[in-house]
């Protein structure tokens, strides 16, 4: 790999890790505005994380090694994911090592560890959360993969960089299949990031919570890492979405560092809009019963498959 | 002079048989059996694995033993395909034999010596299946395999369910064998020569070759557990002692896959595209079925058995895809798919044996098979738990372990289906891919349930507190298998390169140069389209994890306080508040309601002191297919029974009428 | 019947009588008269054998004629009489099928037998070839009789009558089998009769009747 | 020559001897000894025939070729092992008070007599004598079947007697027709009934007569083979007689009857140019297989069960001989051999099992393996062998038969296989619970001898994996003789 490639790789990773909490903060702020509450600071997530790091960790009795290592593994997996999602430029050497399918695999890794850790303590809520998480995952994961497949059928490749290259830098073409995929992707990312209407990050109401139920027992640095990882996940999803459906402005491999840097403000803009939209959706829609979730995600899955079929039918 | 691989394999078979015979000498001497026979068997297995690994890619060798029928002596042959499966058999058997040396205790069932005899006969039969080169020796080995495994399944024959399971198993195995025999009878195409050699050279007319293929699919499907011939599998696997379940699931099912490959791609020349469609559909239905049913099981071995059905389904679907590609002359894609299939076969052998053996250890430590009574074992038996975790992740298809690689390859194959001539097929492939992915995701669900309920949480029963960790032998066997899973995961390029000769042999095209860009990367077609490097992923993840750990430690204190679980501040938590297996599977049961036939649902009343919720689930197929068949057969038999109705003058009338009829017929 | 030598006409006559007797047995209800009819059959059989022996100058046929007389006219009927006395079963034997139907079937059988025998007898070298058809017919009639009787003794008599038919075929159609064979056959029949005798008593002491309806337990 | 005399003489003398002092304790030993001498003589005879080729002795009255000598050897062997088995078995019966010593005397005498008649039927060259011997065999066994004098055994014996008697009578008629056809060519005296003589002139024999004769012969001897729908006597006789008798009945008598049929078939085939005889035999064979397979699932009595399985296997063998040709005949011969060995072994185990449980009902015999492992394993292995499970020999012959059928009559193969599958399910579903599970059996007063069982099974296993070259050549030769 070239030095430039290595540089852009590190840069994008750094940006992801650094900006992820900010994105969360932004979404919360927008939501607060939309629900006309007084908004918390944009940097609240950073403060929370710092505070949590400083605290003494409390570990429940009967917690095994899985419980303790989980936060690190999840965080690691999310970093890996961040390293293969082109946010600024498609010049990502690491993307050779893991393609779209591996990306989904990494998400699955994180999910499974979270679920296992949640079951580790042996509390009612822990296993409840784990069950629901896996349940959501078993429909969301295929849907996401189908979305990625649609894109990779268009570009004839499963490596995200190539996909984005094709989408961004070929002569403009209309891909009807992407429309289906886009809708599906939105629904999946709502579910995957524990957002309304599937989950509600802002509550500990046992009937509704999924993600929160799993991490009830976590505290201090563990919790900090988990929160950070969650933020990273949101960031990754947003970047995937942007890269697949609004790839304009992402620098190509050969463009050099100016282009890469030039892409940065555009990315921030896109993320801001995306976050606002997310907040809007969350405000407009109501939390659905947990057993509505399969229908919701099933729809997403079918839409994605439809996209694939449309793609086969009309040809890419 | 140096003995040839084939001779070595034959020697290994003989050695296994000899070890078995030794078992007969001192049937009740447990020490002798467990300390001597099983380790010896393991040694032979290792040797076999080495020979198999060596023989892959070498020129085929064949020989004729002066056994069997006078006109049809035993023809034996070893080529890359059989060598690969011999490697698989040896590698799996080595671990399982090692485990068995620590596993078998004296019980009121079959005495240990006899068990050792059946066990090694089973191994020998499987090896013989793999090197058989004519119909007779194949059938002999095949049925001997079925018999030996049947007796192993019924080791604890005092338990009625086990007897029933064994019977079901043997009957379905026999039906399958009949189909296989018919298949060979078709394959010889009137030449009357039943050596595989002549079948290879035989060109069958289309209809006949289709018949042969479907007979093979039925016959081998019955052994592999393809719908709707799967019903014996979830009965027999739990019934058998765990090493045997591991051997059946890890190795024996693969023998069926071997047979299917052998017949489809070698003995039949020229495949038709729609066979592929059928196999693909059947496989995916089987896979989905297996996954869904695994999700709602509450017996850990049943759960694993269903997951075996699922994996077999995936494999068969892959084979279907291979047929599809090969019939359209897309040999490169066919090669990739076949690689994926074989890879998955290998993976399944490793992680499924690992998991079954782990359940064996759990079973020994707790005397408990039902998930509802386990839990928290990671504290009592850390070795088994952590090694089982590897298996769990591997089977759930998580990078960078081995399960992911084969699924990745298979998905690549699905994804890069170029537009095939049939639009219908083009429509099918994406749907198939979707089904495959769905199955994979369900597997993750299932395995989390399995692992979480068995090893994590708090013990659901008091007696679990006395569970002891696995012994020396069992541990080492588990370690070995887990290492296998990791290695197969992180060095895919080497494995695919190793498998490649089989592509060359069955497809006639090599896929490896494309598959293994270099030893680090796995890149089918070319690196731009898709590439994957498990090792790098592993390194990066581990690196990031360690890095964060050190940083966090460096910047902040590492203080930890142990406290009772918070759990939203709920008071009085008992282990009974955790999800049971039923509870965990409940969402799936709700989503896939129509799949199941709820046998009985036992709801607790408010006044129960120790309320239990349990659901017994059964699959429709038994009632839709088997029960009617049985009833029909009984009806016919009853009708035929009227012939024999005891009255002598009626009997006389029979013979009189026969006489008259014949005489009339003569004139 | 011009051109046919006298002895042949005799044999044909006896054959006709044999067939007649067979029909009579088919129709007969009373056990004792059944036995007598059987004996009469034996007489006819012996006569025909003797005539054949005389005509074809085969001395060993005299022997078989003698055998017939001893066995089928004297010994077996005597045994049967004794049995019937000892077991006192002098009842009327009503068949499973009523007599007219039986006769009807019998006639059909005779027609069938003749048709069957016709092509064969064309090839026969012997003059008395037409008797073959009669032999077959009587065999079949006795078969029918065995089927229709529901008591043990008549069934056995039917069995013996069947042997008569065979014997007749052997002697008249083919001028007798080799002596050793005939001896063997005769011996077998004798032994069979003795064993049957034993059986009757055993059956009697088990079921205190000779009705075959007791012997319908073993099914399927 | 001298061997023949010993082979035939020993059982005859033995019968006389045992008739005289049959109720002594050592009678059983005499029985064994006589059978053993017969076996030795049979072996000697076999060797001679294999070395010197066919024998035709005592003014052509006895004819021995490699076909019937194989059956002679088999008969002598199974006769011997059965005698071995019956020694403890009959002791136990006596101890259980089911038999008096007077009955034992009858049993022993008749056993030897039965052996004699079978050997005579096999060795004679005279179709008439063949018939006589068959009838005599029936008579001898009738008394054996009714040995217990229970109502059931009497009924069985009666049916056996009447049905086989009638059947045999048909056979006699067939023989007469043969004679009738042959005397024109061979002259009235002597040769006209000698099989060799007939065989020499078979091409000139009158087709119409022979075809009718064959019908009679087939119906006649077929009754004794137990071909459906003439089989009805067979289950009763097997189930109600003492077990050694069941063993020899299905192990040997059926073979002898089939042998007679095959001899006749050879003649008829020679004279007819049509496939009449072949089709007839194949039809009967197939029908028997299917019917037996169907009825197997209805059986409650274990000996009855295996009687039906005998019908099935005789059907298979008949089918094989019907197809004809070297391979099919070879297979048929092999099938007769392995079937006799396996089935008699099974009856040995079943007999003792029934004694242990005090009943023959499959539902009431349980858990043999736990009380007497040898017995249990013997039964289950024997059953699997008879059901055509590799690596046992029955599979070898069935494989060959199916293979040939695939070549000759492809449509028959699936039918056969379906029947075999059904038979497998029905039989095994009944045997498995008998062998496994909690036991119901008692101890036996006398220790049963398991040697015959395992010797037989070992032989069958060997034949499945390896047919010794000399045996292969021998049977090939025989197969060629049958044509």
By C-alpha distance, the chain B residue nearest C95 is B649
Give, for B66, the enclosing helix (H) or strand (E). Answer: strand B61-68
pLDDT of residue A316: 45
Is C123 close to D206, i.e. CB distance below 8 A?
yes
Is B529 close to A156, i.e. CB distance below 8 A?
yes
Cis peptide before A197 (omega within 30 of 0): yes
Spatial separation of the C-alpha atoms in residues D100 and D94, rounded to whole Å: 6
Decide if B171 touches D, using CB distance below 8 A: yes
Decide if C97 touches B, using CB distance below 8 A: no
Token pair of C68 as six digits = 């017939």
Closest Cα in chain D, distance from residue B191 (Å): 8
B181 vs D162, D417, D436: nearest CB: D417
Contacts of C216 in chain B (CB under 8 A): 646-648
102-121 in chain C: CB under 8 A from chain B? 112, 115-116, 119
Is C203 close to D154, i.e. CB distance below 8 A?
yes
pLDDT of residue B30: 86
pLDDT of residue B621: 84
Decide if C216 touches B, using CB distance below 8 A: yes
Positive or negative, the CA dihedral B130, B136, B141, B145 is positive
> Locate tokens 């939309």: which residue?
A34
Selected residue of B178, B626, B652 to mutate for chain D interface (largest D Cβ count, 10 A):
B178
DSSP assignment of C181-192: HHHHHHHHHHHH
Contacts of A99 in chain B (CB under 8 A): 530-532
C120 vs D132, D150, D209: nearest CB: D209
Is D233 close to B192, i.e. CB distance below 8 A?
no
Give, for B521, the enclosing helix (H) or strand (E). Answer: strand B521-522
pLDDT for residue B299 is more than 50: yes
Average confidence (pLDDT) over A95-111: 90
Decide if C198 touches B, using CB distance below 8 A: no
Contacts of B532 in chain A (CB under 8 A): 97-99, 101-102
Residues linked to residue A251 through DSSP beta bridges, in sequence order: A89
Task: Pick the closest to residue D14 from D90, D88, D79 (CA basis).
Answer: D79
Q: What percent of chain B has pLDDT over 90?
A: 50
Q: Is-contact B164 B172, C-beta < 8 A?
A: no
Q: Are D and A close enough to touch, i.e. 3+ CB pairs under 8 angstroms?
A: no
Token pair of C184 as six digits = 């063997």
Token pair of D150 as six digits = 């229970």
Average confidence (pLDDT) over A116-123: 88
Selected residue of A13, A68, A122 to mutate for chain B interface (largest B Cβ count, 10 A):
A122
Is D176 close to C220, i.e. CB distance below 8 A?
no
Is B652 close to D162, i.e. CB distance below 8 A?
yes
Q: What is the DSSP letter of D275?
A: S
pLDDT of residue C93: 65
- Alpha-carbon dihedral B540, B545, B550, B555, rounded to 10 degrees: 110
* Continuous H helices in D96-206: 101-123, 127-145, 151-186, 195-201
* Continuous H helices in B188-299: 196-201, 206-224, 232-239, 242-247, 253-261, 273-295
Spatial separation of the C-alpha atoms in residues A94 and C31, rounded to whole Å: 109
pLDDT for residue C94 is more than 80: no
Coil vs helix vs strand at B667:
coil
B67 vs D390, D421, D466: nearest CB: D466
pLDDT of residue B430: 82
Is B640 close to D389, i.e. CB distance below 8 A?
no
Is C199 close to D154, i.e. CB distance below 8 A?
yes
Q: What is the DSSP letter of B619?
A: E
Mean pLDDT of chain A, nearest integer: 86
Mean pLDDT of chain D, nearest integer: 91
pLDDT of residue A156: 81
pLDDT of residue C129: 66
pLDDT of residue A237: 93
pLDDT in tens, D25-81: 888 999 999 999 999 999 999 999 988 888 888 888 899 999 999 999 999 999 999
Token pair of D113 as six digits = 């007599």
pLDDT of residue D383: 95
Measured CA to CA in angstroms, residue D49 lies from A117, A137, B397, D66 at distances of: 83, 80, 70, 7
pLDDT of residue A172: 64
Measured CA to CA in angstroms, residue D453 lies from B318, B367, C43, D340, D356 at distances of: 49, 39, 54, 12, 17
Neighbours of B203 (CB within 10 A): 9
Decide if B468 touches A, using CB distance below 8 A: no
By C-alpha distance, the chain B residue nearest D297 is B637
Give backbone dihedrals phi and psi of D74, rounded to 5 degrees, phi first: -60, -50
Decide if C150 touches B, using CB distance below 8 A: yes
Question: What pTM value is reported for the model?
Answer: 0.92
By C-alpha distance, the chain D residue nearest C156 is D162
Decide if B170 touches D, using CB distance below 8 A: yes
Is B157 close to D158, i.e. CB distance below 8 A?
no
pLDDT of residue A25: 92
Closest Cα in chain B, distance from residue A286 (Å): 22
Residues linked to residue B615 through DSSP beta bridges, in sequence order: B601
* Out of A191-205, A227-241, B632-646, D137-151, least confident range: A191-205
Token pair of B590 as six digits = 């709700």
Q: Which chains touch B (3 or more CB pairs under 8 A)?
A: A, C, D
Task: Pick the closest to residue B121 from D424, D457, D383, D391 (CA basis).
Answer: D391
pLDDT for residue A235 is more than 90: yes
Average confidence (pLDDT) over A32-50: 89
Give, for B431, the enclosing helix (H) or strand (E). Answer: helix B423-455
B647 vs C140, C146, C216: nearest CB: C216
Residues linked to residue B195 through DSSP beta bridges, in sequence order: B134
Decide if D143 touches C, using CB distance below 8 A: yes
Decide if D308 touches C, using CB distance below 8 A: no
C119 vs D169, D179, D208: nearest CB: D208
Spatial separation of the C-alpha atoms in residues D194 and D128, rounded to whole Å: 8
pLDDT for residue B538 is more than 80: yes
Is B530 close to A99, i.e. CB distance below 8 A?
yes
Task: Enumerate residues 6+ apart whose C-beta is below 8 A from D385.
Answer: D338, D342, D392, D393, D394, D457, D460, D461
Task: Pick the closest to residue B295 from B447, B404, B436, B407 (CA basis).
Answer: B447
Task: Say how many Å lie between the first and final Cα of chain A, rounded.
Answer: 31
Closest Cα in chain B, distance from residue A20 (Å): 16
pLDDT in tens, C186-203: 888 888 888 888 888 888
Residues linked to residue B73 through DSSP beta bridges, in sequence order: B68
pLDDT in tens, B123-135: 999 999 999 999 9
pLDDT of residue D455: 95
pLDDT of residue D346: 95
Spatial separation of the C-alpha atoms in residues A237 and B100, rounded to whole Å: 48
Task: Pick the closest to residue A279 from A167, A172, A201 (CA basis).
Answer: A201
Spatial separation of the C-alpha atoms in residues A244 and A254, rounded to whole Å: 20
Closest Cα in chain B, distance from residue A261 (Å): 25
Q: Are A and C close enough to touch, i.e. 3+ CB pairs under 8 angstroms?
A: no
Is B167 close to D422, i.e. CB distance below 8 A?
no
Closest Cα in chain D, distance from residue B70 (Å): 6
User: CA neighbours within 13 Å on the CB side: how many for B591?
Assistant: 22
Task: Pick the closest to residue B351 from B283, B447, B440 (CA basis).
Answer: B447
Q: Is-contact B524 B514, C-beta < 8 A?
A: yes
pLDDT in tens, D109-126: 999 999 999 999 999 999
What is this model's ipTM? 0.90
pLDDT bracket for residue D476 (50, 70, 90): very high
pLDDT bracket for residue A171 (50, 70, 90): low
pLDDT of residue B151: 93
Spatial separation of the C-alpha atoms in residues D192 and D180, rounded to whole Å: 8
pLDDT for residue B380 is more than 60: yes
Listed as own residue / partner, the contacts of B508-515 with beta carbons closer than 8 Å and 24 or more positions apart are: B508/B331, B509/B331, B509/B332, B509/B334, B509/B335, B510/B335, B511/B332, B511/B335, B511/B336, B511/B338, B511/B339, B512/B339, B514/B332, B514/B336, B515/B336, B515/B339
Task: Pick the closest to residue D329 from D118, D477, D217 (CA basis).
Answer: D477
Mean pLDDT of chain B, nearest integer: 89
pLDDT of residue A295: 87
User: CA neighbours within 13 Å on the CB side: how many for B358?
Assistant: 31
* CB pairs A-B closer than 8 Å: 265
Q: Which chains touch D (3 or more CB pairs under 8 A)?
A: B, C
Task: Enumerate residues 6+ apart whose C-beta is below 8 A from B639.
Answer: none
Is D295 close to B174, i.e. CB distance below 8 A?
no
pLDDT for residue A115 is more than 80: yes
Contacts of D429 in chain B (CB under 8 A): 167, 171
Is B646 close to C212, i.e. CB distance below 8 A?
no
Contacts of D297 in chain B (CB under 8 A): 633-634, 637
* Out of A78-92, B350-364, B405-419, B514-528, least confident range: B514-528
Spatial separation of the C-alpha atoms in residues B476 and B367, rounded to whole Å: 22
Coil vs helix vs strand at C91:
coil
Task: Pick the closest to residue D310 from D227, D426, D430, D196 (CA basis).
Answer: D227
By C-alpha distance, the chain B residue nearest A57 is B560
Spatial separation of the C-alpha atoms in residues B14 and A311, rounded to whole Å: 57
DSSP assignment of chain A: --HHHHHHHHHHHHHHHHHHHHHHHHHHHHHHHHTTPPPPPTTHHHHHHHHHHHSPEEEETT--HHHHHHHHHHHHHHHHHHHHS-SSBS--GGGGT--HHHHHHHHHHHHHHHHHHHHHS--HHHHHHHHHHHHHHHHHHHHHHHHHHHHHHHHT--SHHHHHHHHHHSPP---HHHHHHHHHHHHHHHHHTT-TTT--TT---TTT-SHHHHTTT--HHHHHHHHHHHHHHHHHHHHHHHHHH--TTPBPGGG-HHHHHHHHHHHHHHHHHHHHHHHHHHHHSPPPPGGGHHHHHHHHHHHHHHHHHHHHHH--
C220 vs D157, D161, D298: nearest CB: D298
Is C144 close to B656, i.e. CB distance below 8 A?
yes
Give backbone dihedrals phi and psi of B59, rounded to 5 degrees, phi first: -70, 145
pLDDT bracket for residue B464 (50, 70, 90): confident
pLDDT for residue B402 is more than 60: yes
**Is B92 exposed, middle or buried, given 0-12, 13-18 or 19+ CB atoms closer than 10 A?**
buried
């Amino acid at each position: 790999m070239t030095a430039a490639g290595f540089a852009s790789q590190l840069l994008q990773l750094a940006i992801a890790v650094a900006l992820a909490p900010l994105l969360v903060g932004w979404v919360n702020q927008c939501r607060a505005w939309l629900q006309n509450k007084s908004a918390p600071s944009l940097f609240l997530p950073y403060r929370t994380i710092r505070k949590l790091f400083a605290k003494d960790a409390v570990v429940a009795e009967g917690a095994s090694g899985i419980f303790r290592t989980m936060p690190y593994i999840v965080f690691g997996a999310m970093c890996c994911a961040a390293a293969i999602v082109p946010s600024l430029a498609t010049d990502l050497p690491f993307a050779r090592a893991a393609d779209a399918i591996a990306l989904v695999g990494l998400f699955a890794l994180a999910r499974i560890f979270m679920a296992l850790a949640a079951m580790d303590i042996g509390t009612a809520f822990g296993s409840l959360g784990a069950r629901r998480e896996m349940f959501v995952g078993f429909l969301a994961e295929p849907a996401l993969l189908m979305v990625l497949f649609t894109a990779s059928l268009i570009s004839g490749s499963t490596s995200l960089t190539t996909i984005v290259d094709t989408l961004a830098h070929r002569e403009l073409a209309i891909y009807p299949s992407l429309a289906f995929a886009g809708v599906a992707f939105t629904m999946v990312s709502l579910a995957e990031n524990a957002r309304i209407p599937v989950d509600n990050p802002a509550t500990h109401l046992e009937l509704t919570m999924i993600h929160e139920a799993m991490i009830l027992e976590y505290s201090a640095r563990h919790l900090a890492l988990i929160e950070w990882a969650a933020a990273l996940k949101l960031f990754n999803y947003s970047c995937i979405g942007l890269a697949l459906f609004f790839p304009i402005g992402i620098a190509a491999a050969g463009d050099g560092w100016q282009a890469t840097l030039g892409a940065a403000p555009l990315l921030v803009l896109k993320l801001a809009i995306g976050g606002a939209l997310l907040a809007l959706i969350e405000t407009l829609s109501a939390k659905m019963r947990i057993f509505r979730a399969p229908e919701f995600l099933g729809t997403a899955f079918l839409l994605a498959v439809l996209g694939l079929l449309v793609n086969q039918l009309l040809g890419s | 002079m140096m003995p040839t691989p084939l001779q070595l394999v034959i020697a290994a078979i003989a050695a296994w048989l000899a070890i078995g015979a030794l078992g007969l000498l001192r049937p009740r001497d447990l020490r002798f059996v467990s300390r001597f026979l099983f380790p010896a068997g393991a040694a032979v297995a290792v040797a076999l694995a080495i020979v198999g690994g060596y023989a892959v890619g070498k020129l085929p060798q064949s020989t004729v033993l002066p056994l069997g029928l006078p006109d049809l002596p035993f023809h034996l042959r070893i080529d890359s395909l059989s060598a690969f499966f011999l490697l698989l058999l040896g590698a799996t058997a080595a671990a399982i034999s090692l485990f068995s040396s620590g596993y078998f205790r004296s019980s009121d069932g079959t005495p240990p010596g006899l068990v050792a005899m059946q066990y090694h006969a089973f191994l020998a039969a499987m090896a013989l299946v793999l090197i058989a080169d004519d119909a007779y020796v194949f059938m002999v080995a095949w049925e001997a395999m079925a018999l030996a495994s049947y007796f192993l399944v019924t080791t604890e024959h005092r338990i009625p369910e086990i007897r029933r399971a064994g019977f079901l198993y043997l009957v379905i195995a026999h039906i399958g064998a009949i189909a296989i025999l018919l298949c060979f009878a078709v394959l010889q195409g009137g030449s009357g020569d039943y050596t595989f050699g002549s079948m290879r050279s035989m060109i069958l007319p289309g209809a006949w070759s289709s018949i042969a293929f479907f007979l093979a699919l039925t016959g081998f499907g019955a052994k592999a557990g393809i719908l709707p011939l799967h019903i014996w599998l979830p009965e027999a696997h739990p019934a058998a002692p765990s090493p045997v379940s591991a051997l059946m699931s890890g190795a024996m099912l693969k023998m069926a896959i071997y047979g299917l490959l052998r017949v489809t791609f070698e003995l039949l020349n020229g495949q038709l595209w729609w066979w592929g469609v059928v196999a693909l559909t059947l496989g995916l239905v089987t896979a989905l079925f297996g996954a869904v049913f695994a999700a709602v099981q509450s017996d850990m071995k049943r759960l694993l058995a269903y997951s075996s059905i699922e994996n077999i389904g995936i494999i068969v679907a892959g084979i279907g895809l291979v047929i599809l590609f090969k019939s359209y002359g897309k040999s490169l894609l066919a090669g990739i798919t076949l690689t994926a299939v074989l890879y998955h076969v290998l993976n399944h052998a490793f992680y499924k044996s690992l998991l079954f053996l782990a359940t064996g250890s759990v079973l020994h430590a707790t005397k408990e098979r039902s998930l509802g009574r386990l839990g928290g074992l990671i504290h009592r038996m850390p070795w088994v738990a952590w090694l089982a975790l590897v298996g769990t992740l591997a089977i759930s298809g998580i990078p960078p372990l081995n399960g992911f690689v084969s699924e990745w390859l298979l998905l690549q194959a699905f994804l890069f289906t170029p537009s095939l001539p049939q639009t219908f097929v083009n429509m099918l492939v994406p749907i198939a891919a979707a089904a495959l992915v769905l199955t994979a995701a369900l597997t993750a669900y299932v395995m989390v349930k399995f692992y979480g309920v068995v090893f994590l949480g708090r013990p659901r029963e008091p007696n679990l507190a006395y569970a002891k960790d696995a012994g020396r032998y069992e541990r080492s066997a588990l370690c070995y298998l887990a290492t296998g899973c990791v290695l197969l995961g992180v060095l895919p390029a080497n494995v695919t390169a190793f498998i490649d000769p089989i592509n060359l042999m069955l497809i006639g095209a090599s896929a490896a140069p494309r598959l293994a860009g270099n030893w680090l990367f796995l890149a089918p077609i070319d690196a731009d389209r898709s590439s994957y490097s498990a090792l790098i992923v592993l390194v990066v993840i581990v690196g990031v994890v360690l890095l964060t750990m050190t940083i966090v430690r460096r910047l902040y204190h590492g203080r930890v306080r142990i406290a009772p679980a918070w759990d939203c501040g709920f008071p009085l938590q008992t282990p009974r508040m955790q999800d049971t297996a039923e509870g965990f599977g409940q969402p799936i049961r709700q989503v896939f309601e129509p799949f199941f036939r709820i046998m009985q649902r036992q709801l607790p009343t408010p006044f129960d002191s120790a309320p239990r919720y349990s659901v017994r689930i059964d699959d429709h197929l038994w009632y839709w297919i088997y029960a009617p068949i049985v009833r029909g057969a009984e009806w016919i038999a009853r009708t035929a029974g009227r012939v024999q109705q005891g009255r002598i003058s009626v009997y006389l009338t029979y013979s009189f009428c026969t006489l008259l009829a014949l005489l009339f017929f003569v004139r | 019947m011009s051109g046919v030598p006298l002895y042949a006409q005799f044999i044909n006559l006896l054959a006709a009588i044999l067939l007649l007797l067979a029909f009579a047995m088919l129709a007969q209800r009373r056990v004792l008269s059944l036995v007598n009819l059987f004996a009469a059959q034996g007489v006819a059989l012996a006569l025909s054998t003797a005539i054949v022996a005389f005509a074809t100058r085969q001395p060993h046929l005299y022997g078989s004629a003698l055998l017939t007389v001893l066995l089928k006219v004297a010994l077996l009927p005597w045994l049967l009489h004794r049995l019937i006395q000892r077991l006192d079963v002098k009842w009327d034997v009503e068949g499973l099928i009523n007599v007219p139907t039986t006769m009807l079937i019998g006639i059909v059988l005779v027609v069938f037998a003749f048709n069957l025998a016709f092509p064969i007898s064309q090839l026969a070298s012997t003059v008395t070839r037409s008797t073959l058809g009669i032999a077959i017919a009587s065999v079949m009639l006795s078969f029918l009789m065995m089927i229709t009787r529901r008591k043990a003794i008549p069934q056995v008599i039917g069995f013996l009558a069947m042997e008569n038919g065979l014997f007749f075929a052997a002697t008249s159609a083919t001028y007798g089998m080799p002596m050793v064979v005939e001896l063997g056959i005769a011996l077998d029949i004798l032994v069979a009769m003795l064993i049957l005798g034993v059986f009757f008593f055993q059956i009697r002491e088990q079921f205190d009747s000779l009705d075959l309806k007791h012997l319908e337990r073993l099914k399927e | 020559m001298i061997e023949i005399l010993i082979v035939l003489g020993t059982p005859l003398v033995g019968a006389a001897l045992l008739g005289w002092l049959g109720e002594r304790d050592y009678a059983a030993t005499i029985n064994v000894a006589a059978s053993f001498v017969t076996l030795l003589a049979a072996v000697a005879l076999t060797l001679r025939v294999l070395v010197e080729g066919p024998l035709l002795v005592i003014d052509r009255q006895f004819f021995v070729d490699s076909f019937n000598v194989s059956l002679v050897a088999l008969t002598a062997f199974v006769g011997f092992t059965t005698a071995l088995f019956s020694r403890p078995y009959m002791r136990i019966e006596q101890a259980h008070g089911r038999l008096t010593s007077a009955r034992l005397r009858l049993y022993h005498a008749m056993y030897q007599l039965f052996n004699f008649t079978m050997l005579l039927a096999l060795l004679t060259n005279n179709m008439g004598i063949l018939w006589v011997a068959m009838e005599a065999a029936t008579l001898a066994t009738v008394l054996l079947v009714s040995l217990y004098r229970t109502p059931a055994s009497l009924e069985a014996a009666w049916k056996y007697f009447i049905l086989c008697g009638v059947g045999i009578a048909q056979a006699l008629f067939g023989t007469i027709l043969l004679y009738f056809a042959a005397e024109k060519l061979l002259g009235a005296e002597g040769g006209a009934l000698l099989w060799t003589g007939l065989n020499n002139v078979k091409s000139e024999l009158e087709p119409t007569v022979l075809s009718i004769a064959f019908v009679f012969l087939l119906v006649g001897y077929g009754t004794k083979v137990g071909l459906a729908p003439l089989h009805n006597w067979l289950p009763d006789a097997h189930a109600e007689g003492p077990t050694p008798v069941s063993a020899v009945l299905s192990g040997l008598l059926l073979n002898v009857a089939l042998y007679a049929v095959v001899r006749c078939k050879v003649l008829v085939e020679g004279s007819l140019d049509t496939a009449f005889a072949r089709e007839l035999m194949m039809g009967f064979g197939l029908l028997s297989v299917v019917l037996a397979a169907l009825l197997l699932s209805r059986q409650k009595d274990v000996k009855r069960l295996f009687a039906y399985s005998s019908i099935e296997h005789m059907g298979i063998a008949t089918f094989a001989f019907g197809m004809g040709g070297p391979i099919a005949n070879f297979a048929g011969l092999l099938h007769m051999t392995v079937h006799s060995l396996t089935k008699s072994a099974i009856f040995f185990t079943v007999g003792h099992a029934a004694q242990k449980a005090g009943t023959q009902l499959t539902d009431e015999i349980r858990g043999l393996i736990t009380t007497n492992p040898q017995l249990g394993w013997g039964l289950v292995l024997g059953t699997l062998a008879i059901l055509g499970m590799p690596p046992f020999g029955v599979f070898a012959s069935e494989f060959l038969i199916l293979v040939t059928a695939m070549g000759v009559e492809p449509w028959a193969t699936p039918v056969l296989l379906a029947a075999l599958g059904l038979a497998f399910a029905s039989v095994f579903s009944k045997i498995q619970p008998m062998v496994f599970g909690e036991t119901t059996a008692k101890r036996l007063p006398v220790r049963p001898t398991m040697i015959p069982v395992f010797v037989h099974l070992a032989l069958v296993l060997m034949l499945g994996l390896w047919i010794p070259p000399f045996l292969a050549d021998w049977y090939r030769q025989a197969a060629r003789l049958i044509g």
